[in-house]
Amino acid sequence: MAIIPRMSERALRMTPSVPAGERQFPYQGAPFAFKEVEESVIATVLVYPDLYYLVDFLTPEDFFFRANRVLWGIIATLHGERRPFSAKLVQALYNASPEAAAPLSDRLLDALLSRQDVDALQQNAYLLKDARDRRLLAGAFHEAVGALG
C-alpha cells in the first residue's frame, strides 16, 4: 500500500483553490498540478489559434489553477462560438470576468505568452488530462479510506 504524504499547514494555505464540486483533500495540489504545463498550453493556443483543434478535448476542469481554468473557459467558449480570438481579446474578457481573481496585466500576459511551446502542445494537453484523472482518483481513494474509518 502506498503511503500518501500529508502536507504542512503552510503548504495547505498555499494550495490553489479547487474547482466547485471537487472536494479538497490534504494533498490536493502536490503531486498532480503543473502550472507551467497549463500555461504552456494556453500560451501556445493564444499565439497559434489554428492549433486549437489539437487540444479541443480539454475542458476548463482539466486545469487545476483557477486563473488558467478561467482563461481556458474563455478560449473554449470563443472557439465553440466560432469566433476568432487573440491574446488581447482573451485578456479583456478575462479582466471583465467575475471569476478572475486578479487582473491579467500586459506584463503578465507577455510572461504567459513567452511560455508557448508548439512542439509540446499535444503532450502537455494529455499530461493535463492525465493529471486531472489522477486528482479525481486520489480524491475518490481518500473518500473511500475516510469512509472505512
The arithmetic mean of pLDDT across residues 114-120, rounded, is 94
Whole-number pLDDT of residue 5: 38
CA distances from 20 to 23, 60, 91 (A): 8, 12, 23
Region of residue 46 (phi > 0: left; psi between -120 and 50: alpha; otherwise: beta)? alpha
Q: For the residues 2-29, what does the mean pLDDT come to?
A: 42
Q: Look up residue 49 and give its DSSP letter.
A: G
At 4, the pLDDT band (50, 70, 90 cuts) reads very low
Q: Give me the mean pLDDT over the 58-75 stretch.
A: 94
Question: What integer pLDDT is reported at residue 131 of this predicted model?
Answer: 87
Q: Would you say residue 27 has pLDDT above 60?
A: no
Q: What is the mean pLDDT of the chain?
A: 82
Q: Which three cell numbers stand for residue 52?
A: 486549437
Question: Which pLDDT does position 142 carry in this prediction?
Answer: 81
The answer on pLDDT for 121 being more than 70 is yes
> Can you give the pTM of this predicted structure?
0.74
pLDDT of residue 139: 83
Q: How far apart (Å, rounded) are the C-alpha atoms in residues 2 and 60? A: 30
pLDDT at 10 over 50: no
